[in-house]
Each structure stands twice: as structure tokens, then as C-alpha cells.
């Protein structure tokens, strides 16, 4: 899932303090699961903003709503049609949702209520960790299913480096323990009996599929039916 965490209240309030009628808009997908952007968090943020507005002497009305997914036109558009009277939106969907709304809203500004952090998994209730960097050229088949891009602090493909220390990365602290991604790869490959695979020479990774190639887009031609223009239809 895409993991996000709440922005500091003051920062969010700073975005909207000069508006009168603000919609706090949640998303019912990933950010609900990681407890930062679902219906419950919408209520908490809206209430926190009301308090902040009161202490700052501002009169702002906060509305609340949650969309199933803020990244689909069919889910978003009906809600946007109903909110023509709001001055601003605070979206607590991931950055995708904020982008998506911004592209469909006329003169109503949309502000992020969360910081979108990573693609990750639940470690335990309340702890999430990054597991994928979305590089677009998956190498997991070479590394026993442990991603060196996402889980090695240096994103190196020939680790572990000298900073590994009893399975932990050198950047690890007590508050933020970071496992050495390559130590995990090695342990996993040992367990699978496939350590020899690590000796194989592989071609350099194609980073153009990652951010290096600019904004990415995926097209499935088999799913697209080109709509006829009126002229074509007539002919």
C-alpha cells in the first residue's frame, strides 16, 4: 500500500487559514489502512483544525467527506460536483489523490494534509515499513524476493557494503532501526540454497524506468477502445 503520515497541524492550518469554508477530504484506500487518511482521520483532522481556528481567532467552517479512492474519475467527479461552495480542500489521500483533485478542480485549491512517504507493508499494528521503491525494473528474482533498491539505504546492487553491522545498517539508530537490506538478501539466499546466484554477472540496471526517465505512464493497449469522433461515426 501507499503509506502516508499526517502533516503537522500548524502546517496544514497555514494552508487554509485564510479560507472560510474548507473541505477535509479522505480516501478510503491505502491511507485508510495506514490510519492516516480514512473517515476517522478526516474527523480527527477536521476537529483539530476547528480547535486551531478557534485558538487563532479565525472563523472557518470545516466540512468532512471521504471518497472511496481519490485517484479515479468515477469516484471523484460526483463528489466534486457537490462541493462547489467550498473555498479550499485539504486532501488526506496520498499525493496521487491531491494531484488528481488538482487536475479536476477549477479555481478551488487543494492542499495536502499528509506527507506521502513510501510503498510499504504493515510490520505490526501501528508500524509500516518501505518495501518497494517503484523503480520500474524489478530485480527481486535475483535477490530472493528482498528488494535491494528499497531496503538498502544506498540502493546498491552489489552489497552488503562495509556499513553492515550484525544485520543492521550503519544508519540505524535506536529510534529508527534499519535492517541491512543486503544482509537480509544473503540470509534469504542461504535459506533458499541459492547463494550461487549472487555470483552471476547481470547487466547494469536500466534506471530509465525509474524517475530518471521522467514521469511514468503505463498503457495497456488491449484495454483501450478508441472512441470514434462524430465525423467518423457519421461516415
Partner 1 sequence: MNIEQTENTAQVEMEICATCSAACPVHTSTREYVDLIAQGKYEQAFEKIREFNPFPTVCGLICHHPCEEACRRQNVDESVALRNLKRFAVEQALEYRKRLRKKAEITKDQTVGVLGAGPAGLTVASDCIKQGYAVTVYEALPRAGGMLACAIPKYRLPDEALQADIDDILALGIEVKTGMRVGKDITLDELKKKHDALVVAYGLSDSRSIPIENKDHQNVLLAIPFLRSAALGEPVEVKENVIVIGGGNVAVDVARTAARLGAKTVKMVCLENEEEIPAWDWECREALEEGISIIYRQGPTKVVVEKGEIKGLVTREVERVFDEEGRFSPTYFDDRLTTIEGQMVIITIGQMSDLGSLEGTDVKQDERGRLVFNASQMSTSDEGVFACGEVVTGPGSAIEAVASGHRAAKAVMGYLQTGGLQTITDEEVEEVGELPEDVIENVRRIQRLAMPTMSPEERKKSFAQFEFGYDEKQALQEARRCLACTGGAIVDEKKCESCLTCLRVCPFGVPAVDDVAVMTSDMCQACGLCAVECPAAAISIKRFSIGDVEDRVVALVNGSKKPVTKVEFICSQDAGSGQELQDRIEVLDGDVIAKLPVTCAARVTEVDMMKPFELGSDSVHVQQCKECRYRGADDRLFKRVERTRSILNAAGIDGNKLTVE
Kindly list the residues in this chain that would bind partner 1 in the complex (CB under 8 A). 8-10, 28-29, 32-33, 35, 38-41, 43-44, 47-48, 50-52, 54-56, 66, 122, 125
In whole angstroms, how close is the CB of 87 to partner 1 at the nearest point?
Answer: 20
Nearer to partner 1, 54 or 216 (CB): 54
Provide the minimum distance between the beta carbon of 14 and partner 1 in the complex, in angstroms, as a whole number: 12
- Nearest to partner 1 of 35, 209 (CB atom): 35
C-alpha count within 13 angstroms, C-beta hemisphere, residue 4: 28
Continuous H helices in the chain: 9-16, 30-33, 39-55, 73-81, 95-102, 148-151, 181-192, 230-234
- Minimum gap (Å) between residue 43 Cβ and partner 1: 5
Considering beta carbons, is residue 65 or 99 the nearer one to partner 1?
65
CA 93 to chain centre: 8
Phi, psi (deg, nearest 5) at residue 229:
-75, 160
The values of phi and psi at residue 177, to 5°, are -70, 130
Q: For partner 1, give the closer residue by CB, 50 or 104.
A: 50
Q: How far is the CB of 41 from partner 1 (least distance, A)?
A: 7
Q: What 3-state DSSP class applies to 43?
A: helix
Between 52 and 151, CB nearer to partner 1: 52
Half-sphere exposure of 228 (CA within 13 A, CB side): 6
CB of 120 to partner 1, least distance (A): 14
Amino acid at each position: 500500500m501507499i503509506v502516508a503520515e499526517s502533516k503537522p497541524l500548524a502546517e496544514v492550518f497555514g494552508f487554509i487559514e485564510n479560507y472560510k469554508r474548507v473541505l477535509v477530504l479522505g480516501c478510503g484506500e491505502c491511507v485508510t489502512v495506514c490510519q492516516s487518511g480514512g473517515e476517522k482521520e478526516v474527523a480527527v483532522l477536521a476537529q483539530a483544525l476547528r480547535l486551531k481556528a478557534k485558538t487563532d481567532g479565525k472563523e472557518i467552517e470545516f466540512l468532512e467527506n471521504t471518497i472511496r479512492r481519490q485517484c479515479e474519475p468515477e469516484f471523484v467527479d460526483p463528489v466534486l460536483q457537490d462541493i462547489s461552495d467550498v473555498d479550499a480542500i485539504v486532501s488526506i489521500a496520498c499525493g496521487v489523490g491531491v494531484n488528481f483533485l488538482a487536475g479536476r478542480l477549477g479555481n478551488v485549491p487543494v492542499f495536502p494534509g499528509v506527507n506521502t512517504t513510501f510503498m510499504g507493508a504493515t510490520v505490526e499494528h501501528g508500524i509500516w515499513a518501505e518495501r518497494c521503491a517503484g523503480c520500474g525494473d524489478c530485480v527481486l528474482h535475483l535477490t530472493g524476493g528482498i528488494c535491494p533498491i528499497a531496503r538498502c539505504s544506498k540502493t546498491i546492487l552489489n552489497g552488503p557494503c562495509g556499513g553492515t553491522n550484525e544485520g543492521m545498517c550503519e544508519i540505524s539508530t535506536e529510534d529508527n532501526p534499519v535492517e541491512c537490506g543486503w544482509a537480509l538478501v544473503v540470509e534469504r539466499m542461504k535459506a533458499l540454497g541459492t547463494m550461487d546466484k549472487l555470483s552471476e554477472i547481470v547487466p547494469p540496471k536500466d534506471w530509465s524506468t525509474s524517475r530518471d526517465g521522467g514521469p511514468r505512464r503505463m498503457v495497456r493497449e488491449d484495454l483501450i477502445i478508441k472512441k470514434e469522433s462524430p465525423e467518423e461515426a457519421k461516415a
